[in-house]
Amino acid sequence: MSDQAPSLKRVHTADRSISPPPVKRRQQSTTTTKAVADFFKPSSQKPKPAEKTSWSVVKDSLLVGKHEAADAMPATEADQPRKIAIFDFVLSNQSGISLKSNNSKAPKADLKRLSDFKAKATSILTQLDLPICIYAATAKDEFRKPRTGMWRQLLDDRGLGDAPGTVDLEKSMFVGDAAGRSGSTTATKDFSCSDRDFAANVGIAFHTPEEYFLGEGPKPFVRDFDPTKFLGEVAGAATDAVPLLFSKKNPVDIVILCGSPGAGKSTFYWKHLKPLGYERINQDILKTRDKCLKVAADFLGESVPVAIGM
């Protein structure tokens, strides 16, 4: 009996098909010509995304950062408010930062502190993505809290000015941790009272972070010296040693207001001098000394009294 050679024919079975495999379909590419061109384009020629946070310097000592939030909002957030008030702001004393007109000659440590501060602030503002401005006072001048220079600057940036009624002070508030609180067994003493004093100088309500964000009750606080109480006692005292109210004695004259920033010169003008017909000359508004002199001369030439803020 001889061995039978295997058949070369394919055996038909129900398990698999004997037909040849189907021709593979060609996949349609989703890569565009523009994407390919951009891939080979040098990074220096590629358009950079617009920066949402911009920085500027005012009078060589005030660092101002402004963040523009994204215009488009998800539908789930459409009903959520994007701003707490007409403007939201952060005011900070940053004496450790140095702003110099020629940064190329500034010490490397100063440049690093400035760069680190801007990087941290930009990161926080980007994460929040809210239209917030930050003002950082780097020198001991008119902008440093508790002086009101930063407040006047942010009002000026929004075209509000400092005339009474432009801002609803009764509904405005300032939250800060430099509240002048004394220490205890569970809490350390506040390093300063500049935030509480700043709010008092501006004339707005003040809250600590614990009071505003955590709902804690206010802790006892007593000032060593309260100027408002002192002035109130003087105003109510029965004395004629010093006249307390200003009276106009000449048809045309010049009143010069002298005092440190936040002393109340603007308040005195609007409360006592404006009703008497005095026009205000202020370099913060007119910007240059020459313009102040010209405007004052024009008013005096028209027999209009002027009040000059120093």
- Which pLDDT does position 78 carry in this prediction? 45
The answer to the question of residue 262 being in a domain is yes
Q: At residue 22, does pLDDT exceed 70?
A: no
In the numeric block, which tokens belong to residue 44? 């220096």
Residues 255, 278: contact at Cβ < 8 Å?
yes
* Residues 223 and 259 grouped into a single domain: no
Q: At residue 226, does pLDDT exceed 50?
A: yes
What Rg, from alpha-carbon coordinates, does the chain have?
34
- Which pLDDT does position 237 carry in this prediction? 55
* Residues 295 and 160 grouped into a single domain: no
Phi, psi of 175 (to 5 degrees): -110, 125
Mean pLDDT computed over 26-41 = 67
- Which pLDDT does position 147 carry in this prediction? 92
Where does residue 308 rank: exposed (0-12), middle (13-18), buried (19+ CB within 10 A)? buried
Mean pLDDT computed over 179-188 = 84
* Residues 63 and 100 grouped into a single domain: yes
Mean pLDDT computed over 192-206 = 93
Highest mean pLDDT: which range of 29-38, 41-50, 52-61: 52-61
The residue range of the domain holding 146 is: 53-70+83-227
Where does residue 281 rank: exposed (0-12), middle (13-18), buried (19+ CB within 10 A)? buried
* Residue-averaged pLDDT of the chain: 80
Q: Distance of alpha carbon 81 from its chain centroid, rounded?
A: 18
Q: At residue 72, does pLDDT exceed 50?
A: no
pTM of the model: 0.58
Q: Which stretch of DSSP H or E encloses residue 149?
A: helix 149-157
Which domain CATH number covers 58? 3.40.50.1000
Higher pLDDT, 200 or 237: 200
Q: At residue 38, does pLDDT exceed 60?
A: yes
Q: At residue 222, does pLDDT exceed 50?
A: yes
Task: Look at 3-7, 55-59, 152-156, 212-216 and tell me which has the smallest mean pLDDT.
Answer: 3-7
The total domain count for the chain is 2
* Residues 107 and 187 grouped into a single domain: yes
Question: Alpha carbon of 31 to those of 25, 34, 37, 40, 82: distances in Å?
Answer: 18, 8, 11, 14, 38
Mean pLDDT computed over 161-168 = 78
Indicate the pLDDT class of residue 294, thresholds 50, 70 and 90.
very high
Mean pLDDT computed over 113-130 = 90
* Residues 206 and 61 grouped into a single domain: yes
Q: How far apart are CA 177 and CA 190, in angstroms?
A: 7
Higher pLDDT, 234 or 227: 227
Higher pLDDT, 5 or 175: 175
Q: At residue 75, does pLDDT exceed 90?
A: no
* Residues 262 and 223 grouped into a single domain: no
Q: At residue 295, does pLDDT exceed 70?
A: yes
* Residues 169 and 212 grouped into a single domain: yes
The answer to the question of residue 113 being in a domain is yes
The answer to the question of residue 34 being in a domain is no
The answer to the question of residue 202 being in a domain is yes
Portion of the chain with pLDDT greater than 90, in percent:
33
Please say whether the dihedral angle defined by the alpha carbons of residues 276, 278, 279 and 285, taken in this order, is positive or negative: negative
* Residues 57 and 171 grouped into a single domain: yes
At residue 142's C-alpha, the angle toward residues 137 and 146, to 5°, is 75
Indicate the pLDDT class of residue 196, thresholds 50, 70 and 90.
very high
* Residues 110 and 198 grouped into a single domain: yes
Per-residue pLDDT tens for 250-276? 899 999 988 777 778 888 898 889 999
Domain end point (choices 227, 246, 281): 227
* Residues 115 and 217 grouped into a single domain: yes
* Residues 131 and 266 grouped into a single domain: no
* Residues 196 and 268 grouped into a single domain: no
The answer to the question of residue 132 being in a domain is yes
